[in-house]
């Protein structure tokens, strides 16, 4: 999965606020692990995502953020 930009329009409406809060923390250089939210695919299917990220610093300045996202298989409870 490749996301470009800061606000892709794929997030489940009920999860947008918590995704924005997590993005804000990431952009401040905070690390995150096991953050769960839903996305909506082009076909309209809802998928659960587990997202972890780590900031990369060079000379004490945030240079980038490395992210790993996993899509849950059937078994994750649909809300």
Task: Tell me the pLDDT tens digit for each residue of 8-51.
Answer: 688 999 999 999 999 999 999 999 999 999 999 888 889 999 99
Q: What pLDDT does residue 62 have?
A: 92
**Using CA atoms, how far apart are residues 79 and 70, in angstroms rounded to an integer?**
18
Predicted TM-score (pTM) of this structure: 0.75
| Predicted pLDDT of residue 43 | 87
Helix (H) or strand (E) holding 78: none
Measured over the CA atoms of residue 72, residue 2, residue 4 and residue 32, the dihedral's sign is positive
To the nearest whole number, what is the mean pLDDT of the chain?
85
């Amino acid at each position: 999965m490749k996301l470009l930009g800061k606000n892709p329009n794929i997030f489940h409406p009920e999860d947008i606020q918590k995704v924005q809060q997590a993005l804000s923390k990431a952009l401040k250089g905070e690390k995150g692990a096991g953050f769960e939210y839903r996305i909506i695919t082009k076909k309209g299917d809802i998928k659960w995502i587990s997202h972890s990220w780590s900031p990369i610093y060079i000379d004490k300045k945030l240079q980038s953020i490395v992210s790993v996202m996993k899509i849950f298989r059937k078994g994750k409870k649909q809300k």
